[in-house]
Amino acid sequence: MADFDIAIIGGGPAGATLARLLDKRFRVLLIDGKTASENSFRKVCGGLLSPDAQKAFAEFDLTLPKDILVDPQIFSVRTIDLQSRTERHYQRFYMNLNRHKFDLWLEGLVPESTERFYGRCRSIERRDGVYYINCKGNDGTLHSFTADMIVGADGAGSLVRKYLYPKKKIRRYTAIQQWFYEEHANPFYSCIFDPATSDCCSWSISKDSLFIFGGAFAPDGCRESFEKQKLRLAEYGFRFGEPINTEACVVLRPKSPLDVCTGKDSAFLIGEAAGLISPSSLEGISFAVNSARILAEVLNGGKACPEKIYGRKIIPMKIKILAKVLKCPFMYVPVLRRMVMKSGISSISVTKQN
């Protein structure tokens, strides 16, 4: 008999939500490298909770503790097209939070009956209907576990997805983010388009006394493109100073719903590991939480062929991906973006403070 009924690889919003919602009849293992330690793994993320993600948590009747939130809470996004030197403000209702504390809070909601392993999964193999999972703990020790089912909640670089679909390729970017001491007179959020350095977007966020700047870039020459964009923004009035910290990770950007992989052979993919992330804004928390909820409902139902049932139930999320793919040209094709921004549709007027 396997050690566990279900092994969840990855303890972010997708993995932690699934572990919280699974029936207690399951023997569940949650594998994640994140702890409260200062040296712990931290997700590279600006830390804004979108309205879609807020709705997902509202449907669970969950409320955020105040120590997760950071200052300031800003109600508009300064959108900049560096190519045309066009700028607009758009009203948005994001929640500004500490992403690491947010992840720890979600994991803290997981029931004590779930066994946790703090470390990284190094390899997966299936033999005689059982998954063999080899891991390295945060303390450097090696461990092995067996499970009847596995769930890949391990993000863009998902080991589970690579094992299940070794030939499946999804468009990938390198997200680079730096932290600086805040030097701007008025805090702000921004979304930046600069086709000279990337065909994706960049962002900035004021967070407590710090200022975050990050962006998604083609892997080849990503750091050079990042630094070039910083220079262009410095000319535009952004103040960076010396970076306090630099971090990077892989981020996926699906081109179509066909890029979404849900799993097979008693293995499942949720969140960004499945390719469920917005191709327009790179928002992934709502997809992570909602795909975990759907998979929990399927597994708790105890019906045969859960892989097929989960695949069917995820179709509305694939349709949502398609809608965002169709939205992309109006954001990322320069001539269309320029037309939308210059029209002023849905923008708001902002009176600058002296």
Residue range(s) defining the domain that contains residue 288: 4-43+100-169+256-327
Domain count for the chain, please give it. Answer: 2
- What whole-number distance in Å separates Cα of residue 283 and Cα of residue 285? 6
- What whole-number distance in Å separates Cα of residue 31 and Cα of residue 146? 12
Domain assignment present for residue 177? The answer is: yes
The CATH number that applies at residue 338 is 3.30.9.10
Assess whether 248 and 269 both reside in one domain: no
Assess whether 146 and 14 both reside in one domain: yes
Is the CB of residue 342 less than 8 Å from the CB of residue 86?
A: yes
**What is the biggest distance separating any 2 CA atoms in the chain, rounded to whole angstroms?**
70
Assess whether 192 and 301 both reside in one domain: no
- Global pTM exceeds 0.85: yes
- What whole-number distance in Å separates Cα of residue 156 and Cα of residue 253? 9
- What whole-number distance in Å separates Cα of residue 225 and Cα of residue 337? 21
Assess whether 274 and 183 both reside in one domain: no
- What whole-number distance in Å separates Cα of residue 337 and Cα of residue 327? 11
Assess whether 202 and 321 both reside in one domain: no
The H-assigned helical ranges of the chain are 13-21, 51-58, 99-108, 159-164, 222-235, 285-301, 306-313, 315-332, 334-343
- What whole-number distance in Å separates Cα of residue 192 and Cα of residue 122? 36
Write the DSSP symbol of residue 69. B
Domain assignment present for residue 353? The answer is: no
Closest of 72, 78, 343 to residue 192, by C-alpha: 78
- What whole-number distance in Å separates Cα of residue 265 and Cα of residue 338? 47
Assess whether 189 and 262 both reside in one domain: no
Ranges of residues in the chain with a pLDDT under 50 are none
Assess whether 17 and 118 both reside in one domain: yes
Assess whether 32 and 104 both reside in one domain: yes
Q: How far is CA 44 from the centre of its chain?
A: 9
What local confidence, expressed as pLDDT, does residue 353 receive? 63
Cβ-based burial of 6 (10 A; exposed 0-12, middle 13-18, buried ≥19)? buried
What local confidence, expressed as pLDDT, does residue 91 receive? 94
Q: What is the DSSP track for 149-186?
A: EEEE---TT-HHHHHH-TT----EEEEEEEEEE---SS
What local confidence, expressed as pLDDT, does residue 45 receive? 84
What local confidence, expressed as pLDDT, does residue 40 receive? 67
Domain assignment present for residue 12? The answer is: yes
Domain assignment present for residue 119? The answer is: yes
Assess whether 105 and 231 both reside in one domain: no
Domain assignment present for residue 58? The answer is: no
Domain assignment present for residue 189? The answer is: yes
Domain assignment present for residue 53? The answer is: no
Write the DSSP symbol of residue 112. T
Assess whether 180 and 301 both reside in one domain: no
Write the DSSP symbol of residue 38. T
Domain assignment present for residue 70? The answer is: yes
